[in-house]
A = this chain, B = another copy of it.
Amino acid sequence: MSQMHRQTTTDVLNVTEALRLASEQPASLRQKLSDLHVAEIAALIIDCRDDEQRRRLIELIDEERLGDVLLQLPEAMQEDLLAFFQPSDIEEIVEHLDSDDAADLLQAVDKPVADVVIDRLEPEERRGLAPLLEHDEESAGGLMQAELFKVRDDWTVDTVLKVLRRWGREIENLNYIYVVDDDDRLTGVLPLYQLLLSEPDQRISAIQDTEFPRAVAGQDQEEVAKMFEKYDVLALPVIDEQGLLIGRITADDVIDVIHEEATEDMYRLAALSDEDDLAEPVLTTARRRGLWLMVNLGTAIAASIVISQFESTIANLVALAVLMPIVASMGGIAGTQTLTVIVRGIALGRVTFANARRALIKEVSVSMVSGLLFAVVIGIVATFWFPEVGVKLGLVIAAAMMINLFAAGLAGAVIPLTLQRLHIDPALASGTILTTITDIVGFFSFLGLATLFLL
């Protein structure tokens, strides 16, 4: 990841102004863009109306920063814009990026074009990139960068300082020195400041931290993020299956991962695809969301089939049609509360295999307490609202409320815990399954009890 330290300028350029300058005074816009932070340029590009406008601005961005700007755009937009570039242009962009960023950018390019670009690169750069492209984008290997400062464990502090002065300039965020043995196997890590505090003739093997945590290339990025939290480190070395040092991951890359994972969970809980993107075309979004809406339509129809079994009951007592959505709605909300707490608890590592049973008992207990409370409240409301049916209606809705809130608490905890046990993302589809259960249990218990006791 590149570092750009310039502070936000006070008068930020807006899109209209930028596009005007692009036509009338391109040189002045080029100058203005070079004064902006990459994140600000990216915001301008996102704000354009269409790709044609975007390309007019992109033409005026400094070549060295174009890659960093593109990487800040939503993935779909990256892909669309990169489709307009020649392999030679992409090659130049890639040359200005760190290996992890270069790999990310190439993954947004059509495979055949990416292959042409990789073939055109200098052998040295190609060697750095190849292992990164091998790994899954969401693994430690996909997250790491190849640029790091590596020393042999039999060197002295003095040797390392000399090598550092000669070669260190090319590495950003150089805060840890990675120590390897003859076979390039990681033996330990040395924080840079430790080096400064040590005597020149000390051997690195004597001062390295051999217990420093390390990530393995195949590890999921979510696990890597958890290691950063657990050990409070600013960077982690990445090793392959043989223990060879192949890269490092810095905390700033992990911040992006944490955002991504939280967004994914939030989106999945809301019946959204995690690829849903504000910047993509209306029809693409409508199609993605339509899939989940279609699933919900199916479950809503299932709930309606339950209601239709009680048509004659409702015909006899229309008050039931008035009240039934209350029972279903309260179950949906209470169940979503439990579901969200459990899904988030699993994501943060607070709910584990060991304490899952306790979490389940707690959530069901809460739902029984709420059930009791809201049974009383809704029972009283219903009794006074429909005095012609009176206390019997109140008792029926109270019982249905207790049953449905109990089902909500149970389902809200059991669904994500079960998905987790099956190695499926606990957020995935759990909201839809939950409301299906609370709707069906809500309608069935209320209308069923009414059929038994009120007719």
Interface, chain A (partner B; CB < 8 A) = 1-7, 14-15, 37, 39, 43, 46-47, 161, 164-165, 168-169, 171, 173-175, 191-193, 196-197, 209, 211-213, 225, 228-234, 250-252, 254-256, 258-259, 262-263, 265-267, 269-272, 276, 278, 282-283, 285-286, 289-290, 292-294, 296-297, 300-301, 303-304, 307-308, 311-312, 314-315, 318-326, 328-330, 333-334, 336-337, 339-341, 344-345, 348, 350-352, 354-355, 358-359, 362, 365-366, 369-370, 373-374, 377-378, 381, 435, 439, 443
Contacts and interface: CB of A to CB of B under 8 A. Distances in A.
B252 A255 contact: no
A5 B321 contact: no
Contact of A256 (B229, B296, B374, B439): B229
A231 B213 CA distance: 26
A93 B174 CA distance: 33
Contacts of A283: 369
A2 to B, nearest CB: 7
A178 to B, nearest CB: 14
Given A7-B211, A175-B192, A374-B293, A311 B318 contact: yes
Contacts of A300: 325-326, 329-330
Given A192-B175, A334-B293, A377-B297, A266 B344 contact: yes
A150 to B, nearest CB: 15
A236 to B, nearest CB: 11
A213 B256 CA distance: 19
Contacts of A326: 297, 300-301, 303-304
Contact of A355 (B47, B301, B307): B47
Given A259-B348, A308-B322, 8 more contacts: A46-B350, A47-B354, A228-B252, A234-B234, A300-B330, A304-B325, A307-B325, A329-B439
Given A266-B266, A344-B266, A168 B192 contact: no
A169 B196 contact: no
A92 B22 CA distance: 64
Nearest to A323: B304
28 contacts: A15-B354, A37-B230, A37-B231, A43-B352, A43-B354, A161-B196, A164-B197, A168-B196, A175-B175, A192-B192, A192-B193, A225-B255, A234-B234, A234-B250, A234-B252, A251-B255, A269-B270, A270-B336, A270-B337, A276-B341, A278-B362, A290-B370, A290-B373, A297-B330, A300-B330, A311-B318, A318-B321, A325-B328
B297 A374 contact: yes
A334 to B, nearest CB: 6
A344 B229 CA distance: 23
Nearest to A15: B354
Contact of A5 (B1, B211, B255, B282): B211
A159 to B, nearest CB: 14
Most buried by B among A7, A175, A339, A345: A175
A94 B354 CA distance: 31
Most buried by B among A2, A311, A319, A370: A370
Nearest to A405: B293
Given A311-B322, A325-B303, A362-B285, A340 B293 contact: no
A195 to B, nearest CB: 8
